[in-house]
Chains A and B, each alone.
Chain A
Amino acid sequence: MGFEPIRTLISRTVVMRQENIDTDQIIPARFLTTTSREGLGKAAFYDWRYDENGAPKNSSALNGVDAASHKILVAGANFGCGSSREHAPWALYDFGFRAVISSDIADIFKSNALKNGLLPVEVDQKTHRELLSAPGAEVCVDLESQTVRFGDDWQAVFEVEPFARRCLLDGVDPLGHLLNQIDAIKAFESARP
Chain B
Amino acid sequence: MTAKSLFDKLWERHVVVDETSDSPAVLFIDLHLIHEVTSPQAFSVLNERGLKVRRPDLTIGTLDHSTPTLPADENGELPYATAEAKAQVETLIANCETHGVELFGMGDPRRGIVHVIGPELGLTQPGKTIVCGDSHTSTHGAFGALAFGIGTTEVGHVLAMQCVLQRKPKSMRVVFEGATPAGVTAKDMALAVIAEIGADGGQGYAVEFAGPAVEALSMEGRMTLCNMSIEAGARFGMVAPDGTTFAWLEGRDRAPSGEAWQAALEDWRTLPTEDGAAFDKEVAIDASALAPMITYGVSPDAAAPVDAVAPAPTTEEARRAADYMRFEGDRPFTENKVDRVFIGSCTNSRLSDLRLAAGVMRGRKVRDGVIALVVPGSEAVRRAAEEEGLDKIFLEAGAEWREPGCSMCIAMNGDAGAPGDLVVSTSNRNFIGRQGKGVRTVLASPATAAASAIEGRIADPRPFLEETDGV
A interface, CB within 8 angstroms of B: 1, 17-20, 22, 24-25, 28-30, 32-37, 47, 52, 76-78, 81-86, 104, 106-108, 111-112, 115-116, 161-163, 166, 174-175, 177-179, 181-182, 184-185, 188-189, 192
Contacts and interface: CB of A to CB of B under 8 A. Distances in A.
A148 to B, nearest CB: 20
Contacts of B433: 24-25, 28, 47
Contact of A166 (B22, B84, B160): B22
B17 interface: yes
B134 A185 contact: no
Given A52-B419, A184-B16, A107 B160 contact: no
Contacts of A179: 160-161
B317 A20 contact: yes
Given A29-B412, A33-B412, A106 B203 contact: yes
Nearest to B22: A162
Contacts of B233: 78, 81, 106-107
Interface string B54-76: 00000000000110000000000
A24 B200 contact: no
B84 A85 contact: no
A181 B20 CA distance: 14
29 contacts: A24-B429, A24-B431, A24-B432, A29-B410, A29-B412, A33-B66, A33-B84, A33-B87, A37-B41, A47-B433, A81-B233, A83-B135, A83-B149, A84-B38, A86-B38, A115-B154, A161-B24, A163-B22, A163-B23, A174-B153, A175-B49, A175-B157, A178-B26, A181-B161, A181-B163, A184-B17, A185-B26, A188-B28, A192-B28
Contacts of B157: 174-175, 178
Contacts of A111: 150-151, 154
Q: Which of A18, A107, A108, A185 is the most central at the interface, judged by chain B CB atoms within 10 Å of its CB?
A: A107
Question: 5 nearest interchain CB pairs?
Answer: A35-B40, A112-B151, A86-B151, A78-B200, A84-B149
B26 to A, nearest CB: 5
A18 B317 contact: yes
Nearest to A174: B165
B158 to A, nearest CB: 9
Nearest to A24: B431
B160 A178 contact: yes
A14 to B, nearest CB: 18
Given A78-B203, A111-B150, A188-B28, 18 more contacts: A19-B317, A22-B299, A29-B434, A33-B37, A33-B82, A33-B85, A33-B87, A34-B84, A35-B41, A35-B87, A86-B152, A104-B203, A107-B233, A161-B167, A174-B165, A179-B160, A184-B17, A188-B16
Contacts of A175: 45, 49, 153, 156-157, 160-161
A34 B431 CA distance: 22
A20 B152 CA distance: 22
Contacts of B432: 24-25, 47
Interface string B200-215: 1001100000000000
Given A17-B316, A104-B203, A185-B28, A33 B38 contact: no
A84 B151 contact: yes
Nearest to B416: A30
B445 interface: no
Nearest to B137: A84
Contacts of B41: 35-37, 86
B122 to A, nearest CB: 17
A107 B38 contact: no
A105 B16 CA distance: 28
Contacts of A18: 317, 320
A84 B16 contact: no
B2 interface: no
A188 B23 CA distance: 18
Given A86-B41, A86-B151, A116-B153, A77 B21 contact: no
